């Protein structure tokens, strides 16, 4: 392995959406990505062509190519990949999982390597999108003195590091999933309600997108309470009641609406106490079974 450079050379195992985007961002930031391996060789080749000096290697050869190795593989594969790692003493091995801690790399430590984690709080719906790392927060954790170089690496990417040391990783990752992936689930639920209203489902995405984007933009500059609009923010009890009644034929959709409304009224909203009590009482009511469509199985929303 080549040593002595200010920014270490990097090898990457995994050439999916995150791995490809991270590799390009690291390369642009001065961290030479010298080797790429992937279960799908075509994916590794496509990534290597976009990098300055990277070679396509097998997973076994990769460990001899660089002092830092990033494992950008699915969470369920991380233990297996780590167990087969040909780690060199002192080699830094970094995974990008938000849900798993350093214990997922136990075999690395047994072989004298340094374990690390770099988890970008960002979604990567497409490959080759290094720009999506700029301005985001990245959770980091590392053995010994590895945390410092990881923090410098994150800053070089144009991102903001924060420590994951001591954090409950499952709850941390659940927060990330709720803030990102489940927005997609909420859009799916909104499109279901749109179609139930008798409107063409094909129109739903274009019509609802400005509402979603407006909420995201408001959350970027305002507190949760100030960003909230709509019937809960106004305390429109009768409007919420009509929504619940209209959604009664779809029990899971109604339950999702009620659960989210309950989350909102638990916030410190500037509403009269009487309206808050009325909303709590309304949300605590069981749906009227007579409103459900007979003989129809409820659909899963999430």
Burial class (CB in 10 A: 0-12, 13-18, 19+), 171: exposed
pTM of the predicted structure, to 2 decimals = 0.87
pLDDT at 287: 80
Strand order of the sheet with strand 68-71?
55-56, 33-37, 10-13, 68-71, 92-95, 114-120, 137-142, 160-163
Which residue ranges does the chain devote to CATH 3.40.50.720? 10-167
Q: What is the CATH number of domain 10-167?
A: 3.40.50.720
- What is the rounded average pLDDT of the residues 108-112? 93
Residue 301 has pLDDT above 60, yes or no: no
- pLDDT at residue number 258: 97
Inform me whether the pLDDT recorded for 2 exceeds 60: no
Asked if the model's pLDDT at residue 295 lies above 50, the reply is: no
Strands 114-120 and 92-95: parallel
């Amino acid at each position: 392995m080549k040593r002595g450079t200010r920014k270490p050379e990097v090898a990457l195992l995994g050439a999916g959406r995150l791995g490809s985007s991270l590799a390009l961002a690291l390369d642009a930031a001065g961290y030479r990505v010298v080797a790429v391996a992937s279960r799908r060789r075509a994916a590794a080749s496509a990534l290597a062509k976009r990098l300055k000096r990277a070679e396509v290697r097998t997973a076994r050869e990769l460990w001899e190519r660089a002092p830092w190795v990033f494992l950008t593989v699915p969470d369920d594969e991380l233990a297996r990949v780590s167990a087969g790692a040909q780690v060199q003493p002192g080699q830094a091995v970094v995974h990008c999982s938000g849900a798993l801690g350093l214990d997922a790399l136990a075999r690395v430590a047994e072989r004298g390597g340094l374990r690390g984690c770099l988890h970008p709080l960002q979604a990567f719906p497409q490959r080759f999108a290094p720009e999506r790392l700029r301005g985001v927060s990245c959770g980091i954790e590392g053995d010994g003195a590895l945390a410092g170089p990881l923090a410098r690496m994150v800053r070089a990417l144009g991102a903001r590091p924060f420590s994951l040391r001591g954090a409950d990783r499952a709850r941390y990752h659940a927060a990330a999933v709720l803030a990102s992936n489940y927005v997609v689930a909420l859009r799916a639920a909104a499109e279901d309600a749109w179609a139930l209203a008798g409107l063409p489902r094909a129109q739903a995405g274009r019509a609802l997108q400005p509402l979603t984007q407006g909420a995201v933009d408001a959350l970027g500059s305002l507190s949760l309470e100030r960003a909230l609009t709509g019937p809960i923010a106004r305390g429109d009890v009768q409007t919420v009641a009509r929504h619940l009644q209209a959604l009664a034929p779809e029990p899971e959709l109604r339950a999702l609406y009620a659960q989210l409304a309950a989350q909102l009224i638990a916030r410190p909203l500037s509403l009269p106490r009487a309206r808050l009590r009325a909303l709590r009482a309304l949300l605590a009511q069981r749906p009227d079974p007579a409103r459900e469509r007979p003989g129809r199985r409820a659909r899963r929303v999430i």
